[in-house]
Structure 1
Amino acid sequence: MLRVVVLIAGLLPAALPLPVGAQQAADTAYAKSEANIPMRDGVKLRVVILAPHAARPLPILLQRTPYNANGAIGFARRAKELGLDGYIIVFGDIRGRFRSEGRFDMNRPPRAGTPGIDESTDAYDTIDWLVKNVPNNNGKVGTFGVSYPGWLTAVTGIGPHPALKAISPQAPMGDTWMGDDFFHQGAFRLSYGTEYTWSMESSSDESEEPSPSRYDLYEWYRSFPTLDALARTVRADRWPSWHRFSEHPAYDSVWQARALPRYMGHATVPTLVVGGWWDQEDEYGPLAHYAALERSDTARLAHLVMGPWYHGQWSGDSGTALGNVRFGRATGVEYRELQSRWFGYWLKGEGDGRFPAAWLFDAGTDSWRTFDTWPPANAVRRRLYLRADGALSFDPPTAADASDQFTSDPAHPVPYRPRPVELTYSRTSRWRRWETEDQRFVDGRPDVLTWQTPPLTEDVTVAGDVVAHLYASTTGSDADWVAKLIDVYPDTVPGRPEMQGYELMVTGDIMRGRYRKSWERPEGIPANAIQPFTVDLHQQAYTFLKGHRIMVQVQSTWFPLYDRNPQSFVPNIFRARAEDYKARVHRVYRTTQYPSNVEIEALPR
């Protein structure tokens, strides 16, 4: 969530800075002002207003942010390049951040503050003041933002102000326990949860940044025998979110109250939801938010865009590549053209207003696909079964007794990306591209199991849900399960030798085994007993091309992005002792009775 204000302001390192003359021209094209807007409870929130010198009334584009409202200045400088010129630009600091009054509450639940006060009411009061007090506005407001501002954008649709005509939640943190920033299906996002919270809650203005003592954070996090030892070292007791992590490790009412899809299931204004297939922070949010809106969207107000992007890449980068993977076109530019038309239609009355329900990029074919519904109504379910000798097949297993095993040792966890693992938001960090790294860096480790198909004889197009169904046992009483669906490139790739045999993770995720029966009520795993585990790998629109292979990998650690499971059941892993962490043998079954598989929704052949 942290650096998205930089992205949306168009100040990405990947984007060249504007020449001084162009900056001056952009600056002189706007009149800058600030205001402290009173909310209904008397708290005043600061906004920065950039108004173009224009003869005709203009609509307002509003972004509410925890990352400093001064981001409006950088955004205005790039507004024309982004296709968003001709708007009054307003950025506002939310409660308790930078120069706004009040108390900051991370991902504040609806109606959780002073009676009747939350982010949606603050948005309403802000919009009400703007349309009444900003000169030369046309009475129409649009809201937008990526990540935390994306979530703030989404909740403006709760009891929206009449002037609010269009919103675009981009990479909104939809559910920070189930699949976004802080937990994934019960597993704590150790490095991200620690570093982001450290930056956000040590001060109100990000004046204190994370300062680990090692460059390779794999070694730094591994040096702490327990989560409690880490917390004492970084003084995590200062951070309200850390208390939430450690006191509410299960999916209880605290997390459910913060889950956007649970409290917002209806589109009230035209909504353009945007996300990235390789968003390393909030891929779950846009898909879950759109799904919740789409179920009751008889007016067809909700629209979805998913592209081949890291977190926020679409807002300032060309989008021609992500890491080693090239897309053959400027996907970011193409998206921004759509965004320009979207706001132009709803706020200025320009264009015909025809937008697909779902506009999704297929990185296997390097092409955009449009769908009337998502997932598509004609998608069929197919299963990729784990078979003997590392084989993967659409044919189910025939053996009565067959399995593969590995030893998972918390003292030697599998790194989630090639080392060194840099500080998440450092200048040298490879955080943005880690999900597209070549998975050969772990393929062959004894604690990573691998199965793959022969070269495909025809294309296989995933279009919808991807779910891993594992039947497994452990010699311990708890275990994490990581499942990855991978595209293995051919051994010969003309003109791209670095992609020969490349193992691209199309999608992957983790679940904590103690939650196999209930997200709310964890329970230990009986030793050496076969249990079903379901790992939600979310959704994709991706074609495995003829001549490629499909691979599945299974492992039990993904460190230090996720904390280590002690593999001995304890009521709360945040309170686990060093002696609770033990190496255990895990076994994955592939029999007629226990046919471990990855289920995909695919387009008909």
Structure 2
Amino acid sequence: MKLRLTSYVMLLLLILATGTTVFAKPTAPPAYERMEVLITMRDGVKLNTVIFTIPNSSEPLPFLFLRTPYGVSGYPSPNEMMSTKEMANEGYIFVFQDIRGRYKSEGKFEMMRFTRDKSKPGAIDESTDTYDTIEWLLKNIKGNNGKVGMFGVSYNAWTAMQGAVDPHPALKAISEEATPADMYLGDDFHHNGAFRLSYGFEYAFREEISKTDSAFPFTKLDTYEWYLQLGALSNVNKKHFYNKIPSWNNFVNHPDYDDFWKKQALAYRLDYPRVAVLHTAGWWDQEDFYGPLKAYELLEKRDSSHRNYFVAGPWNHGGWARGDGKTLGKIRFDQPTSEQYRAEIQAPWFAWHLKGKGDGKFPEARTFQTGSNTWQSYNSWPPQQAKATNLYMHPDGKLSFTKPAGGEQAFDAYVSDPANPVPYRPRPIVPTYSATSTWRTWLVDDQRFVHHRPDVLTWETEALEEEITITGEVFAKLFASTTGSDADWIVKLIDVYPDHFPEEPLMSGYQLMISNDVFRGRYRQSFEKPTALQPGKVNNFTIDLHAANHVFKKGHKIMVQVQSTWFPIIDRNPQTFVPNIFEAKDSDYKKATHKIFRSASFPSHIQLPLVK
């Protein structure tokens, strides 16, 4: 007993001398109390709001505010939600609100509501609703420190950005996570003028058929078959929507990049960072990868106060806000990237801006480099050290950094048939929001499921003798022609795993998309005014494949695939020019032969941002 007591005393003395906290218990998470209230806006409309407070807080607390169209009444305590747990344990007053016309809030819902006409007294928009709510919170919720932060994923990120249009003075910081930035050029509803059919159709029905989310009643499990049998887009209102879905009617009435889309985009609403903004993107975000990249780029142009920051990681849409982030589909990242984001990036961001905790030193850009599976920090995004380098298409399906020397007529060709489109993910393609849907992970699907289809062209390098790192913006430069008068071009940059991959045998030969996108040929000169393609004429198409930070490892191959259908995520191009594809007839959809040229005069290639 004497020996044990002496040992205990010695250990106690060691603890006192070194400050070790061996016997310290973890701090208990704060106990939140819930209230649900209706907050009146300047025009009298009441918005349903759930508020979580900490009654016995030892210090005044800032607000963390989220506005959503997806319903807040069922939200549990913030320290029970994975997306907010790290912030909740730090201690905030959490506010969750149904936006106008959704769930328990009054008023009329408008998808991506336009910015108000400020010359009209009493005009409202998402910015004024945010302002009015913050004003009410400051006056009615006791124990606040007068500071507000906003956060959210997707539509909720967009509402956070709208709060910064005419921000309340108390709004200090925003964490926007996958905000849409332009619904025509690159986010949910269109990519480079090509309509995102299955997503636009199902989301518009889901949000606008009722105040609560409703799924479209498909009559087939495989929506590939259902959309194919639907036929021309003109059949949607004739057979299903009957002009009752506002967003679908907007798609039909605004097929080109007109003022409707321009005024909806962030570039029209917000041109410099009025508050501190953290932009978060996922490399495999199946909904809004373009948005946060564009939002960061837009605000960075006038960030004189150094309040604009960028983060990207190996996630799908919202993947950073759930799970541990160690994997996505079959792809491993060897560390809990989502947990790291929430604990080491987002939580310190708000702690500094709303509580003054920490040193406030954040890297301008912090991204997770896939392939090497490491976090990297940069002084700018894209990093200036990246060098644009061309990877060219060659005969026999080869890719090389050497420019081709062949004659003008060197090309590869394929027949694109709208009646037999290339599926964008393995069939059956069940509805987007169904319980068994693979929608969330389709961007990391093994592309061998379309490899060797006659309407998918493929080029690849030899097995790499050394690693190749790309960090920054990726572009495809296609010289192409068609026998039709319109065409879509889908380009995919792919990392091909070795045929024998002992460390993960099931990944042997895997074809992993790193960058991709679609371009609708009619918009080669202007997104505002489409023009027909001249049959047989070679045109130069530049396709933005957006950003990447990836290491193609030794022994892997780099592959490029080109195709002209990606169904039903992208609507079928009739390949016969019509003024408005939403009004095309079934008879307008015709086969066409497309050629991708790979000659000295027409050197189709991928432009990679190489970093040594």
Q: Mark yes or no: TM-score above 0.5.
A: yes
Q: What is the rounded CA distance, in whole Å, between the counterparts of 1:54 and 1:165 in structure 2?
A: 24
Q: CA deviation at 1:261?
A: 3.1
Q: CA deviation at 1:157?
A: 1.3
One-letter amino acid of the counterpart of residue 491, structure 1:
D
CA contact (8 A) 1:236 1:242 kept: no
CA contact (8 A) 2:475 2:543 kept: yes
Q: Which runs of 4+ in 1 moved over 6 A?
A: none
1:35 aligns with 2:33: no
What is the match of residue 84 of structure 1?
88
1:414-442 C-alpha deviation (Å, 9 max, x unpaired): 00001010110111001111000000110
What is the match of residue 240 of structure 2?
234
Q: Which of the pair has more CA radius of gyration?
A: 2
One-letter amino acid of the counterpart of residue 237, structure 1:
N
What is the match of residue 73 of structure 1?
76
1:39-77 C-alpha deviation (Å, 9 max, x unpaired): 222222221111123232211110011111225435442
1:430 aligns with 2:432: no
Q: What is the rounded CA distance, in whole Å, between the counterparts of 2:305 and 2:74 in structure 1?
A: 34
More displaced stretch, 465-474 vs 455-464:
455-464
One-letter amino acid of the counterpart of residue 469, structure 2:
T
Q: What is the rounded CA distance, in whole Å, between the counterparts of 1:88 and 1:234 in structure 2?
A: 44
- Give 3-state SS (helix, strand or coil) of 1:271's partner: strand
1:346-369 C-alpha deviation (Å, 9 max, x unpaired): 111211111111010111100111
Q: CA 1:300–1:405 in structure 2 vs 1: closer, same or farther (change >3 Å)?
A: same
Q: What is the rounded CA distance, in whole Å, between the counterparts of 2:226 and 2:291 in structure 1?
A: 30
What is the match of residue 14 of structure 1?
none
1:326 aligns with 2:326: no
Q: CA deviation at 1:317?
A: 1.3
Match of 1:100 among 98, 101, 105: 105
Match of 1:474 among 466, 479, 482: 482
CA contact (8 A) 2:399 2:461 kept: yes
Percent of aligned positions that are identical: 49
Q: What is the rounded CA distance, in whole Å, between the counterparts of 1:298 and 1:500 in structure 2?
A: 48
What is the match of residue 201 of structure 2?
194
More displaced stretch, 34-43 vs 526-535:
34-43
1:584 aligns with 2:589: no
Q: What is the rounded CA distance, in whole Å, between the counterparts of 1:464 and 1:493 in structure 2?
A: 28
What is the match of residue 61 of structure 2?
58
Match of 1:256 among 242, 248, 262: 262
CA contact (8 A) 1:50 1:76 kept: no
More displaced stretch, 187-196 vs 542-551:
542-551
1:505-556 C-alpha deviation (Å, 9 max, x unpaired): 0010001100010000001100111111121111111111122111110000
Q: CA 1:225–1:156 in structure 2 vs 1: closer, same or farther (change >3 Å)?
A: same
CA contact (8 A) 1:423 1:429 kept: yes
What is the match of residue 44 of structure 1?
46
What is the match of residue 581 of structure 2?
573
What is the match of residue 317 of structure 1?
323
Structure 1 residues 50-199: aligned runs within 5 Å = 50-55=52-57, 56-73=59-76, 75-78=78-81, 81-85=85-89, 86-111=91-116, 116-199=123-206
Q: CA deviation at 1:263?
A: 2.8
1:203-244 C-alpha deviation (Å, 9 max, x unpaired): 0122x3211100011111111121122333322521110011
- Give 3-state SS (helix, strand or coil) of 2:501's partner: coil
Give the structure-1-normalised TM-score.
0.93
Q: What is the rounded CA distance, in whole Å, between the counterparts of 2:482 and 2:509 in structure 1?
A: 32
**Superposition RMSD on alpha carbons, in Å?**
1.5
One-letter amino acid of the counterpart of residue 60, structure 2:
P
Q: What is the rounded CA distance, in whole Å, between the counterparts of 1:596 and 1:540 in structure 2?
A: 20
Q: CA deviation at 1:112?
A: 5.4
Q: CA 1:44–1:72 in structure 2 vs 1: closer, same or farther (change >3 Å)?
A: same
What is the match of residue 502 of structure 1?
510
Q: CA deviation at 1:180?
A: 0.6
- Give 3-state SS (helix, strand or coil) of 2:324's partner: coil
Structure 1 residues 2-17: aligned runs within 5 Å = none
Structure 1 residues 327-342: aligned runs within 5 Å = 327-337=333-343, 338-342=345-349
Q: CA 1:269–1:101 in structure 2 vs 1: closer, same or farther (change >3 Å)?
A: same
CA contact (8 A) 1:406 1:587 kept: yes
More displaced stretch, 105-114 vs 222-231:
105-114
Give the structure-2-normalised TM-score.
0.92
1:281 aligns with 2:287: yes
Structure 1 residues 398-437: aligned runs within 5 Å = 398-400=405-407, 401-437=409-445
Structure 1 residues 302-451: aligned runs within 5 Å = 302-337=308-343, 338-400=345-407, 401-451=409-459
Q: CA 1:183–1:69 in structure 2 vs 1: closer, same or farther (change >3 Å)?
A: same
More displaced stretch, 514-523 vs 93-102:
93-102
For structure 2, list consecutive stretches of 5 or more residues without a partner in the other structure: 1-27
CA contact (8 A) 1:124 1:156 kept: yes
One-letter amino acid of the counterpart of residue 65, structure 2:
L
CA contact (8 A) 2:165 2:269 kept: no
